[in-house]
């Protein structure tokens, strides 16, 4: 079977992570403004060892569930899915991040638009869902631009740095 990669857009391309990405990964990821809205398993500070562990994990997944968002020839961020299990096995959560120097160029929305059909097919899904802290207006906008539909609000569901936040639930559903 031919590889679907890279998933080619006009602002970015998505492709599997490699160890060559480590310097760019750590440079872009090691930023509290990137990690602030993400779960704590995204480390802050983000060290070389964190990067190596992440790339080893990403490279072990077949088909790849975590892809690099490549911009101007280097990895500038990441996008990935975590398939659920049991009765929710046709659902996955999707998440993404981008280095701060690349924000505001429509890259995340394009990455999400490229990732959505790939993930649905590669993991036999019918539903992709994303949770965004309600104050993360950029991410909510990214989800809307990529066609995700707001389904509700999970009140006080996200604890970060000792503060509880509401989260918006967005989903893309294959009817
Ligand atoms: C969220 C994130 C991925 C967005 O990436 P991006 O490439 O800058 O996003 P885009 O350029 O595609 O879209 C951002 C949108 O938010 C809008 N926006 C930016 N700042 C805004 C603000 N303060 N208020 C309202 N809208 C805002 C932009 O105008 C743009 O919408 P538009 O295209 O309609 O003008 C990036 O900020 C990031 O990595 N943040 C840290 C990690 C994170 O939050 N990940 C998501 C977790 S759910």
- Is residue 99 helix, strand or coil? coil
Query: Exposed e or buried b for every residue in 7-36, given b needs 16+ CB within 10 A?
Result: bebebbbbbbbeeebbebbbbbbbbeebbe
> What's residue 159's pLDDT?
98
Residue 106 lies in a domain: yes
Structural domain that includes position 45: 7-123
Which atom number of ligand 1 is nearest to the Cα of residue 109?
12
Which atom number of ligand 1 is nearest to the Cα of residue 33?
41
Q: Which residues line ligand 1 (CB under 6 A)?
A: 34, 37-38, 95-98, 103-109, 132, 136-139, 141-142
Which atom number of ligand 1 is nearest to the Cα of residue 77?
39
CA distances from 120 to 22, 111, 142, 167, 174 (A): 28, 14, 18, 23, 8
What is the CATH number for 47?
A: 3.40.630.30
Residue 151 lies in a domain: no
Number of domains in the chain: 1
| pLDDT tens string 81-110 | 999 999 999 999 999 999 999 999 999 999
Give residue 162 CA to ligand 1 midpoint distance, Å.
Answer: 24
Q: Can you say whether the dihedral through the CA atoms of 13, 78, 121, 61 is positive or negative?
A: positive
Q: Are 142 and 109 in contact (CB under 8 A)?
A: yes
Among 36, 93, 141, say which to mutate for ligand 1: greatest number of ligand atoms within 8 Å of CB.
141
> What's residue 118's pLDDT?
98
Residue 107 lies in a domain: yes
> What's residue 82's pLDDT?
98
Give residue 86 CA to ligand 1 midpoint distance, Å.
Answer: 33
Residue 59 lies in a domain: yes
Residue 122's H or E segment, with its range, is helix 107-122
**Calpha distance 42→85 (Å, rounded):** 22
Cα-based torsion angle of the residue sequence 27, 30, 32, 38 in order, rounded to the nearest 10 degrees? 110
Residue 130 lies in a domain: no
Residue 155 lies in a domain: no
Low-confidence ranges of the chain (pLDDT < 70): 1
> What's residue 2's pLDDT?
85
Residue 42 DSSP symbol: S
E-strand stretches of the chain: 7-8, 13-16, 66-71, 74-83, 91-98, 127-133, 149-160, 163-173
Residue 114 lies in a domain: yes
Residue 109 lies in a domain: yes
């Amino acid at each position: 079977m031919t590889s679907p990669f890279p998933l080619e857009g006009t602002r970015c391309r998505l492709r599997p992570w490699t160890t060559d990405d480590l310097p760019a990964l750590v440079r872009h990821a090691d930023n509290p403004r990137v990690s602030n809205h993400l779960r704590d398993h995204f480390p802050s500070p983000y060290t070389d060892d964190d990067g190596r562990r992440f790339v080893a994990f990403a490279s072990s997944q077949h088909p790849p569930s975590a892809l690099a968002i490549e911009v101007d020839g280097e990895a500038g961020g990441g996008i990935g899915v975590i398939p659920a299990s049991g009765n929710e096995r046709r659902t996955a959560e999707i998440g993404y991040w981008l280095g701060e120097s690349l924000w505001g160029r429509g890259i995340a929305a394009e990455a999400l638009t490229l990732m959505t059909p790939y993930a649905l097919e590669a993991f036999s899904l019918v539903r992709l869902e994303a949770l965004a802290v309600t104050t993360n207006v950029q991410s909510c906008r990214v989800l809307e631009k990529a066609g995700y539909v707001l389904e509700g609000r999970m009140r006080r569901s996200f604890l970060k740095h000792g503060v509880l936040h509401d989260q918006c639930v967005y989903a893309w559903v294959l009817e």
